[in-house]
């Protein structure tokens, strides 16, 4: 697609947007253009009431009976089933639990156990750091000499896949650049060499259609608090292809992964279903928020979501193209829609201060060290007019050097 010739008219795009009705289902403060739903999704309106009801009635009045009467005990499976529908997973193949980091520990340990006699875990140097840290930790923990082999560019991955690789572990959409791997093709290439594949869907789930089953992926993990709008620190999810259920063990053998937790057996007998990947008691308040947030997805046409995501990103790139070079911005996200997720990133000098100046003007994105300003586009609650306005504000901040005020150089703990 030639982005320079197909100009997007923001007003016309908003008028014909089939998803425009979803915005009113989110609580968004006045005067904010929220381009950070890839980091923390906005608050769905119905979540507040649902969580209050859980606190006041289920916890406050029904007390411990709510594990059964409100079915708290099955929240991980219920939320997992909703997530399964938007990531193309089979029924009973997804649970919500723990954090993405912990879930990676569980599935990577299990995958290495399933593929013995091989010594390498392949990933990319630019993967999200927690994925690499967990892989290092798992290799150390197992103590069988596994080593991490990291590619320096996405094109190099196929060349690293050989008969000594046990697991290919990639993030589908890169958190910094927004580059998107071809899940089906890479999974196939890995399987041809007997390699198991783990996909981190942190920046894909809820941002685009995903087809884990079609790709025959082995495992997947991802965050609940980004495009799924589950709230700060929301439970994460994990997927295990049904062909691996019951075939091996994950190492965090807590009682919720037992075949019959309420038998209170002193010996651990793992569930032979996805439940084996649960560990301990689910955080009910967070799970309830996540459960409510997932209700929105029943009504979302994922093809329309992807089409709008591409158009929002195209519009932002188109607007910024007119001043990027002159004002020191370098696009690091692929222009080709099929090679990117739902974010647009630029590298630039003084990125941290520029982002702080944007936030002060109501345009919320984020900064990723050392030099990336990152903008996420969530089709359920963003308009084309807002995207156009955000680009104009960025231009103004750069042209006037408004970012150079001392307060914008003060670093917070979270960037």
Ligand X SMILES: Cc1ncc(COP(=O)(O)O)c(C=O)c1O
Q: Which of 131, 275, 292, 314 binds ligand X (CB under 6 A)?
A: 131
Mark whether 200 is an active-site residue.
yes
Q: How far is the CB of 236 from ligand X (least distance, A)?
A: 6
The answer to whether 255 is a known ligand-binding residue is yes
The answer to whether 105 is a known ligand-binding residue is no
Residue nearer to ligand X on the CB measure, 19 or 87 = 87
Mark whether 335 is an active-site residue.
no
Measured between alpha carbons, how far is 249 from 106 in angstroms, rounded to an integer?
9
Q: Which of 183, 195, 196, 223 binds ligand X (CB under 6 A)?
A: 223
Q: Is the peptide bond before 370 cis (omega within 30 degrees of 0)?
A: yes
| Nearest partner of 225 among 20, 109, 413, 376, judged by Cα | 376
Q: Catalytic residue among 118, 340, 374, 395, which?
A: 374
Q: Do 181 and 172 form a contact (C-beta atoms < 8 A)?
A: yes
**Residue 182, number of CB atoms within 10 A of its CB:** 14
Q: E strand or H helix at 364, and its extent?
A: strand 363-364
Residue nearer to ligand X on the CB measure, 66 or 345 = 345
3-class DSSP state of 328: coil
Q: How far is the CB of 292 from ligand X (least distance, A)?
A: 20
| 128 interacts with ligand X by CB under 6 A | yes
For the chain, the C-alpha Rg in angstroms (whole number) is: 22
| Nearest partner of 38 among 172, 142, 165, judged by Cα | 172
Q: Decide: residue 222, CB within 10 A, 0-12 exposed, 13-18 middle, 19+ buried.
A: buried
Q: Catalytic residue among 34, 128, 181, 227, which?
A: 128
Please enumerate in sequence order all residues whose Cβ is within 8 A of that of 75, keeping only pairs 6 or more positions apart, or say none: 96, 282, 284, 287, 288, 291
Please enumerate in sequence order all residues whose Cβ is within 8 A of that of 313, keeping only pairs 6 or more positions apart, or say none: 333, 337, 340, 342, 343, 344, 377
Q: Where are the alpha helices (DSSP H) in 201-301?
A: 212-215, 284-295
Q: How far is the CB of 223 from ligand X (least distance, A)?
A: 5
| Window contacting ligand X (CB under 6 A); options: 49-57, 127-135, 363-371, 387-395 | 127-135
Measured between alpha carbons, how far is 316 from 337 in angstroms, rounded to an integer?
13
Mark whether 225 is an active-site residue.
yes
Q: Catalytic residue among 36, 200, 314, 366, which?
A: 200
Measured between alpha carbons, how far is 122 from 169 in angstroms, rounded to an integer?
6
Phi, psi of 414 (to 5 degrees): -110, 130
Site map for ligand X, 143-182, x if CB under 6 A?
A: ----------------------------x---x-------
Q: Catalytic residue among 225, 237, 375, 384, which?
A: 225
Q: Do 367 and 351 form a contact (C-beta atoms < 8 A)?
A: yes
The answer to whether 323 is a known ligand-binding residue is no
| 200 interacts with ligand X by CB under 6 A | yes
Q: Do 234 and 241 form a contact (C-beta atoms < 8 A)?
A: no
Site for ligand X in 86-105 (CB under 6 A): 99-101
Residues touching ligand X, count (CB under 6 A): 12
Mark whether 340 is an active-site residue.
no
The answer to whether 172 is a known ligand-binding residue is no
Site for ligand X in 368-397 (CB under 6 A): none
Q: Which of 236, 290, 354, 372 binds ligand X (CB under 6 A)?
A: 236
Q: Do 383 and 12 form a contact (C-beta atoms < 8 A)?
A: no
| 345 interacts with ligand X by CB under 6 A | no
| 83 interacts with ligand X by CB under 6 A | no
Residue nearer to ligand X on the CB measure, 238 or 329 = 238
Mark whether 2 is an active-site residue.
no
| Window contacting ligand X (CB under 6 A); options: 123-131, 148-156, 274-282, 291-299 | 123-131
| Window contacting ligand X (CB under 6 A); options: 73-81, 124-132, 330-338, 372-380 | 124-132
Q: Catalytic residue among 226, 308, 368, 395, which?
A: 226
Contact residues toward ligand X (CB under 6 A) are: 99-101, 128, 130-131, 171, 175, 200, 202, 223, 236
Q: Which residues are catalytic?
A: 128, 200, 225-226, 374
Binding site, annotated residues for pyridoxal 5'-phosphate: 100-101, 128-131, 171, 200, 203, 225, 255, 281
Q: Would you list which residues are annotated within the binding site?
A: 100-101, 128-131, 171, 200, 203, 225, 255, 281
């Amino acid at each position: 697609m030639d982005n320079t010739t197909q100009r997007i008219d923001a007003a016309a795009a908003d008028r014909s947007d089939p998803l425009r009705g979803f915005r009113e289902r989110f609580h968004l403060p006045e005067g904010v253009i929220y381009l950070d739903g890839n980091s923390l999704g906005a608050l769905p309106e119905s979540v507040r009431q649902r969580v209050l009801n859980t606190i006041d009635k289920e916890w406050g009045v029904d007390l411990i009976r709510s594990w059964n009467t409100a079915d708290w005990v099955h929240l991980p499976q219920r939320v997992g089933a909703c997530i399964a529908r938007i990531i193309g997973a089979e029924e009973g193949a997804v649970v919500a639990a723990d954090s993405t980091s912990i879930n990676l520990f569980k599935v990577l340990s299990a995958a290495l156990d399933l593929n013995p006699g091989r010594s390498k875990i392949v990933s990319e140097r630019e993967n999200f750091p927690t994925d690499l840290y967990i892989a290092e930790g798992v290799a150390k923990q197992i103590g069988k000499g596994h080593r991490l082999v990291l590619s320096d560019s996405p094109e190099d991955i196929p060349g690293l896949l050989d008969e000594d690789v046990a697991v290919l572990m990639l993030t589908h959409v890169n958190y910094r650049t927004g580059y998107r791997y071809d899940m089906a093709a890479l999974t196939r290439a890995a399987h041809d060499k007997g390699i198991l594949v783990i996909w981190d869907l942190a920046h894909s789930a809820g941002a685009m259609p995903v087809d884990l089953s079609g790709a025959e992926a082995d495992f997947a993990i991802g965050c609940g608090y980004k495009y799924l709008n589950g709230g700060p620190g929301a439970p994460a999810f994990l997927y295990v292809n049904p062909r691996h259920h019951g075939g091996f063990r994950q190492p965090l053998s807590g009682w919720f992964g037992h075949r019959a937790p309420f038998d209170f057996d002193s010996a651990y007998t793992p569930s032979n279903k996805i439940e084996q990947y649960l560990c301990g008691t689910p955080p009910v308040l967070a799970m309830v928020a996540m459960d409510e947030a997932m209700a929105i997805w029943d009504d979302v046409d994922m093809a329309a979501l992807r089409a709008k995501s591409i158009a929002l990103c195209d519009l932002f790139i188109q607007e910024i193209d007119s001043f990027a070079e002159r004002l020191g911005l370098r696009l690091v996200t692929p222009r080709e829609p099929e090679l990117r997720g739902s974010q647009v990133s630029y590298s630039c000098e003084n990125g941290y201060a520029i982002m702080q100046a944007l936030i002060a003007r109501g345009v919320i994105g984020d900064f990723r060290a050392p030099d990336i300003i990152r903008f996420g586009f969530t089709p359920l609650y963003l308009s084309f007019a807002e995207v156009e306005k955000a680009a104009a504000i960025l231009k103004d901040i750069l042209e006037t050097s408004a970012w150079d005020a001392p307060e914008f150089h003060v670093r917070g703990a979270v960037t």
